[in-house]
Amino acid sequence: MKKYMLSFNMGIQNAIEYRFNFFLSLISIVFPIIIQTSIWIAAFNHSSEATLYGYNFTQMLLYTLLAALISRLVATGIEYEINEDIKNGGLNKYIIRPINYFMYKLSVFIGSKCLQYIVLSILIAIIVSGATFYTDEYELGVYKILVSVFILISSCILNFLISYIISAIAFWLTDVSYLFVVTTLLVNIVSGGVFPLEIFGNTVNRIFDFLPFKYTIYFPVNTLNGNLSGAAITSSLFIQWMWILVIYLLAKLVWRRAMTRYIAVGG
């Protein structure tokens, strides 16, 4: 356990070393929020309907704000690191050492994310309580807060697993760092990180129902903005955990095959 604590500490140190970057990257999520908020303000102003895509104005604004923050919260970027490890032979260190690569990556990752988790959680809390304060149509009880926290943690786990499985592409394809830009962006879009998934229409949404992605951003956001009913939250939470299990097992399988291949070709 101690070695994972050390890895965790290493992650924190890294994050602190590059703190300048972290705070700047927080500023950079403000801009898309401003753009999208402006679009929604104009759209609701011009529209005669009270809801767009099934969201009222408050819910839509909350969606925009929370989706941007939660995108950051669940984002990993481990694909690039794992790619580096595979290409530079850094992975060899973990094969010969009594340390589990997955656990190691997870520990460093959580360590480097700590600061972000704290700051982002505070921001989410501020937004949610601000909404409760300003509008009457929005209410968040203690029970729902606890559920939301649990859902957010689950979302982080799910997205980490998704990234972990995607990063295994690096075993089969050379020079994939560009490709990971594509996967990150696409995963973010189909997770509902840019716009609510409803903009894709009913047919596409039926496909999304059978994919794990909407349970990383779309689901927690719609829990927090009050768009989902209690029953829908419970069933979605159930599916979310089912996906966590499925992808965990799948990741294990994929990585085991990848590792045998990696060792076979000699790195």
Partner 1 sequence: MSLAQTLKRYIRLYALFIKNSVIAQMEYRTNFITGLLVETAYLFAKCLYVIVVYQTDLHIGSIGPDQILMFIGTYTFLTGIYWGLFGINFIKLPEHIRNGTLELLMTKPISLQFLVTLRHVDMGLALPNIIGGITMIVISWNKVNLDVNFYTVGGFIFFIIIGVIITYFLFLIPQILSFWFVKTSAIDDVSNSLWDFNNMPMTLYPKWAHFIGMYLIPIFIITNFGPLFLYDELKVSDVFWAAGVPFILISSMRLMWNKGLRNYSSASS
Partner 2 sequence: MTLISVQNLTKHFEYYEKEQGLKSSFRNLLHRKKMVKAAVEQVSFEIKKGEMVAFLGPNGAGKTTTLKMLSGILHPSEGSASIMGFTPWERKNEFKKAMSIVMGQKSQLWWDLPAIDSFYLLKNIYDLSDENYNNTLNELVELLDVKHVLNIQVRRLSLGERMKLELIAALLHSPKVLFLDEPTIGLDFISQKNIREFLKKYNRDTQTTIILTSHYMKDIEDLCDRSIIINKGKLIYDGKISEIQSAFQRKKRMKISLSELLAREQFETLGSIKEYNGYDVVLEVENERFKEIAHLVLEQYPVQDLTIEDIPLEEGISLMYQKGEQDQ
Residues near partner 1, by CB under 8 A: 18, 20-25, 27-32, 34-35, 38-39, 42-43, 46-47, 52, 174-176, 178-179, 181-182, 185-186, 189, 194-195, 199
Q: Which is nearer to partner 2, 11 or 212 (CB)?
A: 11
| Cα torsion through 114, 133, 42, 226, rounded to 10 | 70
| SS3 at position 114 | helix
Q: CB under 5 to 8 A by kind: which of partner 1, partner 2, none does 46 bind? A: partner 1
From residue 263, how far is each of 104, 168, 171, 258 by CA, in Å?
19, 14, 11, 9
CB of 20 to partner 1, least distance (A): 7
Q: CB under 5 to 8 A by kind: which of partner 1, partner 2, none does 39 bind? A: partner 1
CB of 165 to partner 2, least distance (A): 31
Q: Which residues bind partner 2 (CB under 8 A)?
A: 9, 12-13, 16-17, 19
| DSSP class per residue in 182-238 | HHHHHHHHHTTSSS-GGGGHHHHHHHHHTSSGGGTTHHHHHHHTT-S-HHHHHHHHH
Q: CB under 5 to 8 A by kind: which of partner 1, partner 2, none does 13 bind? A: partner 2
Q: CB under 5 to 8 A by kind: which of partner 1, partner 2, none does 199 bind? A: partner 1
Residue 194: count of CB within 10 angstroms of its CB: 18
Six-digit token string for 160: 């980490």
CB of 27 to partner 1, least distance (A): 6
Q: Which is nearer to partner 2, 18 or 172 (CB)?
A: 18
Please say whether the beta carbons of 221 and 66 come within 8 A: yes
Q: Which is nearer to partner 2, 11 or 220 (CB)?
A: 11
Q: Is the torsion defined by CA of 231, 235, 240, 241 positive or negative?
A: positive
